[in-house]
Structure 1
Amino acid sequence: MHSAKPRPWKKAGRHGMLAATTAVLTALTALVVSATAVAQAAHEDARQRPRAAEGPVWTGAWGTAVQRPIEGSEDWGPNWSRQGFADQSVRQVVRVATGGSTLRIRLSNAYGTTPLRITGATVGRSAGDAQVWPGTARTLTFGDHEGTTVAPGRDIVSDAADLNTSPLEKLTVTLYVADPTGPATFHRFTTATSYRASGRHLTDSGGDAFKESTNAWYFLSGVEVSGAASPRRGTVVAFGDSLIDGTGATPGADNRFTDKLAERLVAARRPLDVVNAGIGGNRILNGSPCYGDKATDRFQRDALDRPGVRSVIIHLGANDIGAPETGDPCMGSAPRVTARQLIDAHKQLIRAAHARGVTAVGATILPMKGALFPLYSERGERVRTAVNHWIRTSGAYDAVLDVDRALANPADAALPRPGYVFQDGLHPNEAGFHAIASAVDLNAL
Structure 2
Amino acid sequence: MISRTHTAFVATVTATATAAALALTAGAQASPAERHASWTAAWAGAPQRPSTGFKPNWSEAGFDDQTLRQVVRVTEGGDRARIRLSNAYGSSPLRIESATIARTEKKGSASVEEGSLTRLTFGGKRGVTIPAHGQLASDGAGVELEPFESVTVTLHLSGTTGPATFHAQSFATSYRADGNHTSDTGGRAFGESTESWYYLSGVDVGGSHTASTAGTARTAGTERTAKKRGGVVLFGDSITDGFASSTDRDRRWSDALAERLDEAGEPRPVLNSGIGGNMVLNDSAWYGEKSANRFARDALDLPGVGTVVVLEGLNDIGYSETDKPTYKPAPVVSARELINGHRKLIREARAKGVRIVGATLLPLGGSDHYGKHAAAVSDEFNDWVRTSGEYDAYVDFDKALADPRDPERIAPAYDSGDHLHPNDAGYRAMARAVDLETL
- Structure 2 length-normalised TM: 0.86
Asked whether the equivalents of residues 123 and 171 of structure 1 are also in contact (C-alpha less than 8 Å), the reply is yes
Alignment partner of 1:61 is 2:55:
no
Alignment partner of 1:350 is 2:346:
yes
C-alpha distance in structure 2 between counterparts of 1:118 and 1:401, whole Å: 41
Displacement after TM superposition at 1:231 (Å): 6.5
Asked whether the equivalents of residues 289 and 330 of structure 1 are also in contact (C-alpha less than 8 Å), the reply is no
Which residue, out of 87, 92, 98, partners 1:114?
A: 92
Displacement after TM superposition at 1:270 (Å): 2.2
C-alpha distance in structure 1 between counterparts of 2:160 and 2:328, whole Å: 30
Displacement after TM superposition at 1:328 (Å): 3.2
Asked whether the equivalents of residues 232 and 270 of structure 2 are also in contact (C-alpha less than 8 Å), the reply is yes
Name the residue aligned to 2:292. 296
Letter paired with 1:420: Y
Q: What is the correspondence of 1:231-270 to structure 2 with a 5 Å cutoff?
A: 232-270=228-266
Asked whether the equivalents of residues 233 and 271 of structure 1 are also in contact (C-alpha less than 8 Å), the reply is no
Asked whether the equivalents of residues 286 and 333 of structure 1 are also in contact (C-alpha less than 8 Å), the reply is no
Name the residue aligned to 1:142. 122
Which residue, out of 397, 408, 413, partners 1:419?
A: 413
Displacement after TM superposition at 1:271 (Å): 4.0
Name the residue aligned to 1:22. none
Q: What is the correspondence of 1:307-322 to structure 2 with a 5 Å cutoff?
A: 307-322=303-318
Structure 2 residue matching 1:162: 3-state secondary structure: coil
Which residue, out of 137, 161, 182, partners 1:202?
A: 182
Asked whether the equivalents of residues 322 and 380 of structure 1 are also in contact (C-alpha less than 8 Å), the reply is yes
C-alpha distance in structure 1 between counterparts of 2:319 and 2:267, whole Å: 38
Displacement after TM superposition at 1:170 (Å): 0.3
Which residue, out of 374, 378, 391, partners 1:384?
A: 378
Q: 1:185 to 1:54 in 2, by over 3 A?
A: closer
Name the residue aligned to 1:99. 77
Displacement after TM superposition at 1:435 (Å): 0.6
Displacement after TM superposition at 1:332 (Å): 4.2
Compare CA radii of gyration and give the structure with the larger one.
Answer: 1
User: Structure 1 unaligned runs (5+)?
Assistant: 1-51
Name the residue aligned to 1:41. none
C-alpha distance in structure 2 between counterparts of 1:330 and 1:337, whole Å: 17
Displacement after TM superposition at 1:68 (Å): 0.6
Asked whether the equivalents of residues 86 and 136 of structure 2 are also in contact (C-alpha less than 8 Å), the reply is yes
Which residue, out of 80, 84, 88, partners 2:58?
A: 80
- Per-residue CA distance 1:310-365 (angstroms, 9 max, x = gap): 01010111001111122333324410000000000000000000000001110110
Asked whether the equivalents of residues 98 and 266 of structure 1 are also in contact (C-alpha less than 8 Å), the reply is no
Displacement after TM superposition at 1:233 (Å): 4.7
Q: Among the aligned pairs, what percent are the same residue?
A: 51
- Per-residue CA distance 1:235-261 (angstroms, 9 max, x = gap): 111000011000121111111000001
Aligned length: 389
Higher RCO by CA contacts (8 Å cutoff, separation 6 or greater): 2
C-alpha distance in structure 2 between counterparts of 1:54 and 1:71, whole Å: 37
Structure 2 residue matching 1:222: 3-state secondary structure: strand
C-alpha distance in structure 1 between counterparts of 2:51 and 2:134, whole Å: 19
C-alpha distance in structure 1 between counterparts of 2:407 and 2:348, whole Å: 32
Letter paired with 2:139: D
Name the residue aligned to 1:337. 333
Letter paired with 1:441: D
Alignment partner of 1:282 is 2:278:
yes
Alignment partner of 1:218 is 2:198:
yes
C-alpha distance in structure 2 between counterparts of 1:179 and 1:200, whole Å: 11
Pairwise CA RMSD: 1.5
Which residue, out of 402, 406, 419, partners 1:408?
A: 402
User: Structure 2 unaligned runs (5+)?
Assistant: 1-32, 210-225
Asked whether the equivalents of residues 34 and 139 of structure 2 are also in contact (C-alpha less than 8 Å), the reply is no
Displacement after TM superposition at 1:267 (Å): 1.8
Letter paired with 1:69: P
Deviates more, 1:208-217 or 1:128-137: 128-137
